Amino acid sequence: MTLKFSQDQRKQYLLMTDRIGSGWLHLFGDNTEFYSAAYWDLLTGIWRVSGPVRKTDALKMMQAIKSAHTAGKYIDTALRNGFLIEQDNSEDARSKLLTLSPDMRQKMDVFFDEAVEGVLETARKIDENA
């Protein structure tokens, strides 16, 4: 198998993922409790939707968590910390809706702007080292 990229180019990729991980951690005031794939899946999944998400659908967003009860604990923690807002579902009284809090949405928008900028910068560096 012929490799397509040099060791230096692969290192640029790792440096980028380190910066993105650091940026993700910064969203939470460097509280490592939230540096978890479960919170990544949950919060980015809701961010992608850009609107209310049924709580049962949010539970399924955490792909590595197989237990709805455990996934619910992550949601409860996100609610307690003000990352999410829960409201009644006017179309189905049996379900609740979740949205990102305005503060978390704004922080995530900034995070993704910085992450995309990092991707572009890394692509330029990888191209320079070709």
Residue 9, helix vs strand vs coil: helix
C-alpha neighbours within 13 Å on the C-beta side of residue 59? 15
Domain membership flag for residue 1: no
- Specify the CATH number for the domain of residue 37: 1.10.10.10
> Could you tell me the pTM of the whole model?
0.90
Domain membership flag for residue 103: yes
Domain membership flag for residue 118: yes
Supply the range of the domain harboring residue 101.
9-128
Domain membership flag for residue 3: no
Domain membership flag for residue 123: yes
Total domains in the fold of the chain: 1
The gap between the terminal CA atoms of the chain, to the nearest Å, is 19
Which pair of tokens denotes residue 105? 């949405």
Domain membership flag for residue 112: yes
pLDDT digits (tens, 9 = 90+) for 27-61: 999 899 999 999 999 999 999 998 899 999 999 99
From residue 8, how far is each of 2, 13, 67 by CA, in Å?
16, 9, 41
